[in-house]
Amino acid sequence: MVTPEHGFEVLVERLRGAERIVVIAHVRPDGDAIGSVMGLTLSLRALGKTVIPLLEDPVPENLAFLPHSEEVVAPVGLIEADLVVALDTATQERVGKRCLEVLAGVKEWINMDHHGTNPGYGTWNHVNSGVPATGQLVYELLKAGGFPMTDAIRQHLYVAISTDTGSFQYPGTGARTHEIAAEMLAAGLDSGRLCRLTYETFPARRLHLLRAVLNEMKLSLEGRVASWQYTQKTAIEAGARAGDTEGLIDTLRMVDSVVAAVIFEELPDGKIRVSARSKTMDVNVSDICGRFGGGGHPLAAGARMAGPIEQAAERYLKELENEVRRHD
């Protein structure tokens, strides 16, 4: 397990000392990325700091209900700041090409993350692979610093933690994760509303994609591996947008015999985005994604491969199936 190089005290001191702060996360932001970025942004703003929440890609439609999420800024022009805080971002490049360019003049970076593969690219590094979501780290940071905590901040951090733990279901979900949720509820957070908006509110096109998953999923290795090839043709037919695939992989994971599940997504540029999940630490999908230039967590990881999609799937599944076989 990776444990923090620099404790919260150091980060609190750096944050208190800075005036202009950029808070950033990874490309194609998920709930943990947006919730962590906006949770920290709103708290630092309440402290009187000038804070720029910066993301390479827009907030996905299903998370646009989160308060102030429309204030996320896209990378344009050069940004001057005292400090960048990168959240939930396993490598510095993962903030995105344009974001790296606009931040070229900022010297000091805080790197706060829970990906075990994070090499510690910041001036200050707080990487803890023992927590299931970066949102949990942000919550602890705000508490450690005595920073402002409001209902809007709790909404962001709750959604960050909830989405990265599969609604408090994945194995990394610890006692402290539940305690944090309980503290938020005790403070008046409406978790029922947040869960309905996060998990039970979809446009029809998302259900078209689910239908495609159910029609086209493949089981291999006696049902121990489930996969789906999500083509541009399907994306165009469904009118899919960024974020629509979020959570679809859980449908593949549900099959009782399945040990590992993968989605191969054909991107408009022909590259293949791989998302993989494992149910057991014996099959480490972060390792397998690493062989194709990707990474992540042992039970949830991703990579980008060259197309065409059938060949990418064949190459990846060969490695994955060997791994599953080794642990019979």
- Contacts to Mn ion by CB under 5 A: 32, 88, 134, 164
Query: For residue 232, what are its two tokens?
Result: 């541009």
Judged by beta carbon, residue 129 or residue 150, the one nearer Mn ion is 129
Nearer to Mn ion, 40 or 217 (CB): 40
CB of 25 to Mn ion, least distance (A): 9
Token couple for 109: 């970076």
Which residues on neighbouring strands pair with residue 265, listed in sequence order? 230, 273
Least Å distance between CB 181 and Mn ion?
A: 16
Cβ atoms within 10 Å of 237's Cβ, excluding its own: 13
Which single residue brings its beta carbon nearest to Mn ion?
A: 32
Q: Which is nearer to Mn ion, 78 or 281 (CB)?
A: 281
Which CB, 6 or 94, lies closer to Mn ion? Answer: 94
Closest distance to Mn ion from the beta carbon of 105 (Å) = 27
Task: Pick between residue 133 and residue 184 the one whose CB is nearest to Mn ion.
Answer: 133
Name the DSSP letter for residue 94.
G
- Residue whose CB is less far from Mn ion, 87 or 313: 87
Q: How far apart are CA 2 and CA 111, in angstroms?
A: 14
Nearest approach, Cβ of residue 243 and Mn ion (Å): 15
For residue 308, say if its preceding peptide bond is cis, omega within 30 degrees of 0: yes
130 in helix, strand or coil?
Answer: coil
Residues 231, 235, 236, 237: is their CA dihedral positive or negative? positive
- Cβ at position 47, least distance to Mn ion in Å: 24
Cβ(100)–Cβ(75) below 8 Å: no
Query: DSSP assignment of 182-231, as one string?
Result: HHHHHTT--HHHHHHHHHS---HHHHHHHHHHHHH-EEETTTTEEEEEE-
Distance in angstroms (rounded) separating the CA atoms of residues 65 and 220: 39
Burial class (CB in 10 A: 0-12, 13-18, 19+), 84: buried
Three-state secondary-structure class, residue 326: helix
Question: Residue 94 or residue 206: which is nearer to Mn ion going by CB?
Answer: 94
Minimal distance in Å, beta carbon 31 to Mn ion?
8
CB of 76 to Mn ion, least distance (A): 26
